[in-house]
Amino acid sequence: MSHVVAPARDELPPPPVRVGLVGAGPWARAMHARMLAAGPETALTAVWARRPEAAAELAQAHGALAAGSFEELLDHCEAVAFAVPPAVQAGVAVRAAAAGRALLLEKPLGADLAAARAVADAVAEHGVVSQLVLTKRYHPATRAFLAEAATRQVLGARSCYLHGAFLGGEFATGWRLEHGALLDLGPHLLDLLDSAVAPIVSVRGTGDPRRWIELTCEHENGAVSQASLSGSVSLPRGRTRVELFGPDEELVYDTADIDHEECWPVLRREFANAVRTGTGTGIDAARGLRLQELLDQAGKA
């Protein structure tokens, strides 16, 4: 008689991380809910939003609970993902951290530097895992670019993040139209420049972030970089491009041909692993606070 040997307990995969989602708007529907529900590393267990009917619709679509309150959401999860405006995220993220829940945070952390600092401080005080949804950082092409950049001497860089989403459509939301491209797109580009060139020591901005804003960054290694940001220009498709210059051949990162769907499984897997091991990736609330300090500096220039 043959016997089937069960795998050893330590070979069994860990159970999926139970994640509650705050928010039921366009980005929650397009990315967060379907990514978290797809698993296998995570399970979407509950959805809470300021509009109960939107939360109920999104929860039903993914077999999750529509929580009647933020406290009820916390009761049904061990980690909380946020897909809400930064002013809303900051307040509830502090409460989630105090409740001991891991955080999957959107950028920017808050609507201003004080709010962002409150989130980062709560994460540090309560010792919870945090991870920032800097989407492009989870794509293999981005990681290959940053790895190659680390081998280069960079003297200068220029970059842009441009699209027309603020001109109309469901992503032309109130906070984006109020604060413009600096808070919405700036974290992505500043993160890439800070990582690819060298830490940014100062940044100044010119222009109107609701129309077009230009950033000049000075880096720790003496390099200077430029960043152009706008969500109000008509383009066939969004454009994100970083060009590094130095003694070697230029190095170019361009998202025109990358599939952003490749980001989500990496993000989900790394967040779940961080929650299970208690060890973050470094793309966390502290990183978000650093980026917000740069945004604040650029906005005051």
Q: What integer pLDDT is reported at residue 1 of this predicted model? A: 46
User: Which pLDDT tens digit goes with each residue over 33-64?
Assistant: 999 999 999 999 999 999 999 999 999 999 99
Using DSSP, state whether 88 is helix, strand or coil: helix
CB atoms within 10 A of CB 143: 13
* 291 close to 190: Cβ distance less than 8 angstroms: yes
Q: d(Cα 201, Cα 179) in Å, to the nearest integer?
A: 23
Instruction: Band the pLDDT of 257: cuts 50, 70, 90.
Output: confident
CB atoms within 10 A of CB 192: 25
Q: What is the pTM of this model?
A: 0.93
Please state the rounded mean pLDDT for residues 7-33.
88
Q: d(Cα 207, Cα 68) in Å, to the nearest integer?
A: 43
Q: What integer pLDDT is reported at residue 300 of this predicted model? A: 86
> What's the mean per-residue pLDDT of the chain?
95
Q: What integer pLDDT is reported at residue 2 of this predicted model? A: 46
Please state the rounded mean pLDDT for residues 206-227.
97
Please state the rounded mean pLDDT for residues 18-24.
98
Nearest to 118 by CA among 285, 299, 297: 285
